[in-house]
């Protein structure tokens, strides 16, 4: 068997920061799969900065026209976050005490290397059901590649394994992520004559009290897969006013919520809109707007799902939920029962401390092969 570490060294050497094209890495992958006789499809788009972004789908069996129907899709993003210029060895994989250090080592080229080793092994047997490997672009900047594949109806999968560093503990559920800017408007006046104006900050405080009450109401809808088991809500930033002696004409805040998967991400949005509507109905001066900045739903797969069971660690069978964004909700939209798993820990990712334990790479190859055999054979 080729070693995942040897492949990882080559993958890390190709810089794939989301701000640049991922063509070089995708071509590297194409060259890898060619001698295995796998079939491929490339779905490309040009990003907002004019860079070409490629999504690659490969499968041991010929691909049908149109939507590819897979029993199992194993999904991995090709991009990494930018690394600090001071990190001179970012693209040089360094080994130290059983750990491999480099940009993308755990997020998520370690998993990518494991997929490639598993492909070489799986290529030796004839699978009965369709296996697909899906390599996406731009996960780190908002899952643009996965979004594009969904728009293009490129893939439908019954099961999906999404690679992200979870220290090889399968994650079967994740909350969504939503963010909105709320702006409250008033009328400026000299503070000695407040009746000549309308305070946007006092108006915002009335709105805030209602939003706080909403956050308490949200605890009534619970999902025990999470801690805390409900949709959480936060006002993380607030800005308003211009000077101590001016009645403020404007106050804005950032409202963030993380919806449980069983609740629509628009539930909180609709409630805040109706709070604004009701406040405006009672008070002519009240005016506020809400602008959605992000609206991503979560995902939840049953612990009993075959895909979750297929990647469990044999010794303890531990399953978790996941607290960071992944492509799993996108795979769920493509019909899949999804699980997130991969070597290394997100605690080191997105930093010069990024690393992956070598033993987890070997273990990950075994789990992928087990899942491929169980689900596709
Ligand atoms: Zn990642």
39 is written with which tokens? Answer: 């079939």
- Which member of 71, 79, 138, 360 is catalytic? 79
CA of 146 to the centre of ligand 1 (A): 13
Which pLDDT tens digit goes with each residue over 112-133? Answer: 999 999 999 998 889 999 999 9
Contact status, residue 174 vs residue 326, Cβ threshold 8 Å: yes
218 is written with which tokens? Answer: 């949200």
Contact status, residue 112 vs residue 118, Cβ threshold 8 Å: no
* pTM as predicted: 0.89
CA of 164 to the centre of ligand 1 (A): 5
Q: Say whether 246 sits in a helix, a strand or coil.
A: strand
Burial 349-375 (b: 16+ CB within 10 A, else e): bbebebbbbbebbbebbebbbebbeeb
Name the stretches of the chain with pLDDT < 50.
none
Q: What is the pLDDT of residue 264?
A: 94
CA of 14 to the centre of ligand 1 (A): 16
Following DSSP, what letter does each residue of 151-164 receive, concatenated? Answer: HTT-EEEEEEEEE-
Following DSSP, what letter does each residue of 9-25 receive, concatenated? Answer: HHHHHS--BTTS--HHH
Determine how β-strand 232-240 pairs with β-strand 250-258.
antiparallel
Dihedral of alpha carbons 151, 155, 157, 159, sign: negative
Q: What is the pLDDT of residue 125?
A: 86
CA of 210 to the centre of ligand 1 (A): 36
Distance of CA 344 to the CA centre of its chain: 16
CA of 365 to the centre of ligand 1 (A): 18
Contact status, residue 145 vs residue 137, Cβ threshold 8 Å: yes
Find the helix or strand (DSSP H, E) in which 172 lies: strand 171-174
139 is an active site residue:
yes
Which pLDDT tens digit goes with each residue over 220-245? Answer: 999 988 889 999 999 999 999 999 99
- Which member of 71, 138, 139, 300 is catalytic? 139
Q: What is the pLDDT of residue 1?
A: 76
Contact status, residue 198 vs residue 285, Cβ threshold 8 Å: yes
CA of 274 to the centre of ligand 1 (A): 36
Contact status, residue 136 vs residue 75, Cβ threshold 8 Å: yes
Following DSSP, what letter does each residue of 175-216 receive, concatenated? Answer: --EEEEEEEEE-B-EETT-GGGSB-HHHHHHHHHHHHHHHHH
């Amino acid at each position: 068997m080729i070693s995942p570490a040897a492949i990882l060294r080559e993958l890390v050497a190709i810089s794939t920061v989301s701000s640049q094209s991922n063509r070089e890495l995708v071509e590297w992958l194409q060259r890898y799969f060619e001698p295995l006789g796998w079939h491929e499809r490339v779905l490309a788009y040009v990003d907002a900065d004019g860079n070409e972004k490629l999504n690659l789908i490969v499968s041991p069996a010929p691909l049908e026209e149109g939507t590819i129907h897979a029993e199992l899709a194993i999904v991995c993003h090709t991009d990494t976050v930018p690394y600090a210029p001071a990190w001179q060895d970012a693209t040089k994989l360094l080994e130290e005490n059983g750990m491999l250090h480099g940009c993308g080592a755990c997020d998520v080229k370690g998993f990518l290397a494991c997929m490639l080793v598993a492909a070489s092994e799986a290529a030796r047997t004839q699978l009965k059901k369709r296996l697909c490997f899906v390599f996406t672009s731009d996960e780190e900047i908002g899952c643009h590649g996965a979004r594009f594949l969904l728009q293009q109806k490129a893939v439908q999968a019954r099961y999906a394994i999404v690679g992200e560093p979870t220290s090889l503990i399968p994650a079967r559920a994740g909350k969504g992520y939503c963010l909105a800017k709320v702006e409250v408007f008033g009328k400026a006046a000299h503070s000695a004559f407040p009746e000549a104006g309308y305070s946007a900050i006092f108006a915002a405080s009335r709105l805030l009290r209602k939003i706080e009450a909403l956050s308490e109401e949200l605890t009534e809808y619970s999902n025990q897969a999470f801690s805390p088991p409900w949709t959480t809500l936060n006002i993380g930033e607030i800005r308003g006013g211009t000077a101590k002696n001016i009645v403020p004409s404007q106050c804005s805040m950032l409202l963030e919520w993380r919806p449980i998967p069983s609740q629509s991400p628009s539930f909180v949005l609709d409630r805040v809109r109706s709070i604004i509507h009701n406040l405006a109905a009672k008070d002519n001066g009240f005016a506020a707007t809400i602008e959605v900045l992000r609206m991503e739903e979560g995902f939840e797969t049953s612990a009993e799902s075959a895909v979750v069971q297929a990647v469990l660690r044999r010794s303890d069978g531990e399953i978790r939920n996941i607290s960071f964004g992944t492509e799993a909700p996108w795979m769920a939209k493509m019909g899949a029962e999804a699980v997130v798993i991969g070597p290394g820990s997100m605690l080191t990712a997105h930093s010069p401390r990024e690393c992956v334990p070598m033993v987890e790479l070997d273990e990950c190859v075994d789990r992928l092969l087990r899942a491929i055999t169980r689900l596709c054979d």
